[in-house]
Structure 1
């Protein structure tokens, strides 16, 4: 029986509105600015995610392109995508962001990496290396951007 943990989450309160935080997440052009894994190099402008079924493309620091297939979306509250090499099927790992407004104008942000559906054995070591601390690195960078307004 496989008892390996394949869902990792981190959360933090950010002193900014859910709308401000969400805009930084849902606009792929902004993602390299807060990526705590330092593997996102760039994204073309104009790819702002609007709903489930959208696909946005990122250039990785390794030089390859990644297509991200949006599978969950609620404006200002939740977004999740399954990445895949350009033109390929998704190998089954999911990145999710959930935002909850707090009464004082701040936002509780939860970032989750879920690789329970991962089908590519070559990606398992990378999946295992994605820890709560690497997720926190992204949230902390996101907070710094959102809080500076």
Structure 2
């Protein structure tokens, strides 16, 4: 059996998809939403409005030897429905992992939120020997969804 190359979690949040998307599409909100403990602050990043944008985050983690920055290249955008980005050490091209947020309205005040952390496109053997995927656990993704639900309700 092959090793998994992604983690997906789904939760219903009692809020309109527009409100959830508004929180997700502003990089400043990612610090409070983070369930991994890696995200420290936004270095720069305007509201996400299209694929092709890049936002930069200040991060920390033993896997990178302490503090570092990431450039997040927006690869998927469908207003109110989808946000996706590939993450890379600042100043480099993404090595293949991505974060995907999919929103499905279940009614005017309820949305199914599907959050995927996918490293299936990481092919660099040196990177794969240095980093043990997944860097973020299913439990940490669950925490991110809890934080998102709290951010939308406040």
Task: Check whether TM > 0.5.
Answer: yes
User: TM-score if structure 1 supplies the norm length?
Assistant: 0.90
Aligned counterparts of 1:85 and 1:99: Cα–Cα separation in 2 = 27
Which sections of structure 1, spanning at least 5 residues, go unmatched?
Answer: none
CA RMSD of aligned residues (A): 1.6
Gapped regions of structure 2 (runs ≥ 5): 61-65
Instruction: Give the structure with the larger strand fraction.
Output: 2
Q: Does 1:147 align with 2:146?
A: no
Residue equivalent to 1:63 = 67
Measured after TM superposition, the shift of residue 124 of structure 1 is: 3.5
- Map 1:33-44 → 2, pairs under 5 A: 33-44=32-43
Q: 1:124 matched to which residue of 2?
A: 131
Shift of 1:46: 5.3
TM-score with structure 2 setting the length: 0.88
Q: Alpha-carbon deviation of 1:128?
A: 2.5
Q: 1:83 to 1:129 in 2, by over 3 A?
A: closer
CA contact (8 A) 1:100 1:107 kept: yes
Query: Does residue 103 of structure 1 match 2:107?
Result: yes
Q: Which runs of 4+ in 1 moved over 6 A?
A: none
Partner of 2:84: 80
95 and 63 in structure 1: CA distance in 2 versus 1, 3 angstrom threshold? same
CA contact (8 A) 1:18 1:76 kept: yes
- 2:44 and 2:56 in contact (8 A); partners too: no
Partner of 1:110: helix, strand, or coil? strand
How far, CA to CA, are the matches of 1:123 and 1:57 in structure 2? 23
Q: CA deviation at 1:104?
A: 4.4
Counterpart-to-counterpart distance in 1, 2:142 and 2:57: 21
1:132 deviates by 2.0
Which residue of the partner structure matches residue 63 of structure 2?
Answer: none
Match of 1:31 in 2: 30
Alignment CA distance shift 1:123-1:142 (3 Å):
farther
